[in-house]
Structure 1
Amino acid sequence: MNGDLPVPTPVVLGIDDLRRLPRATRIARTSGEGIRLLREYRDRFVDELWLDHDLGGDDTILPVVTLLEEAAFHGHPFRIGTIFVHSANPIGAETVVRSLTRWNYRVQRATAQ
């Protein structure tokens, strides 16, 4: 035994109604599932969070964004390395980026495969 500690698997969460997100360790397909997923990881560090704006029908990522904003407002933001916003809706994506950046989350626009 060489005494090396195992390297933990990065936690990569995705909220997207259609994309596979091959790097994701867990995927939620609706905003409600996304909120439940984030609450499940509330006290853990999330390396990456991938967000799509439009989630099918009238569902959008905005309830998830509200959850993240409220946590930061109350002084207990989610511990997330980087939030990637990958949406075909440029106005919606920019809204998400601006909203979360305002609360000091590290946010980037990205292209999802």
Structure 2
Amino acid sequence: MAVILGIDDLRPLPRATRIARTSREGVQLLEEHRDSFIDELWLDHDLGGEDTIMPVVTLMEEAAFNGRPFQIGAVFVHSANPIGAETVVRSLARWGYRVRRATA
């Protein structure tokens, strides 16, 4: 069965097998899948209030920097915030993740 994770404060993401609604939950979700393959990871930039996806992006960047990037088939960034989305795409692509903009 495919592992499809989503981190989004509002969208239902019907294909996702698990959804986190805050950056803290998102970090925890990724940590739980640290040593397994994630087929798809769906990221929203703005997570309500002051919360954003950036703590999750930082975790992924640090993992790659330390030579242990998360094993993810594809990362999809689906955000209504074009500047935030582009920041996420650029940051993750720089560390070798297969990432692109998408619509959820």
Same fold (TM over 0.5): yes
| Matching residue of 1:59 | 51
Equivalent residue in structure 2 for 1:35, among 23, 27, 33: 27
| Matching residue of 2:13 | 21
Deviations 1:25-73 (A, max 9, x none): 0000000000000000000000000000000000000000000000000
Q: What is the 5 A alignment of 1:74-85?
A: 74-85=66-77
Misfit runs of 4+, over 4 Å: none
Tell me by how many angstroms 1:86 deviates.
Answer: 0.1
Task: Supply the AA of the counterpart residue of 2:29.
Answer: L
Q: In 1, Cα distance between the equivalents of 2:23 and 2:54?
A: 8
| Matching residue of 2:38 | 46
Residue aligned with 1:94, SS: helix
Residue aligned with 1:81, SS: strand
CA RMSD of superposed structures (Å): 0.2
Structure with larger Rg: 1
Q: Percent identity?
A: 79
Tell me by how many angstroms 1:97 deviates.
Answer: 0.1
Deviations 1:1-36 (A, max 9, x none): xxxxxxxx1000000000000000000000000000
Q: In 2, Cα distance between the equivalents of 1:31 and 1:71?
A: 16
How many residues end up aligned between the 2 structures?
Answer: 104
Which segments of 5 or more consecutive residues in structure 1 lack a partner in the other structure? 1-8
Q: In 1, Cα distance between the equivalents of 2:100 and 2:86?
A: 10
Which segments of 5 or more consecutive residues in structure 2 lack a partner in the other structure? none
TM-score, normalised via structure 1 length: 0.92
| Matching residue of 2:89 | 97
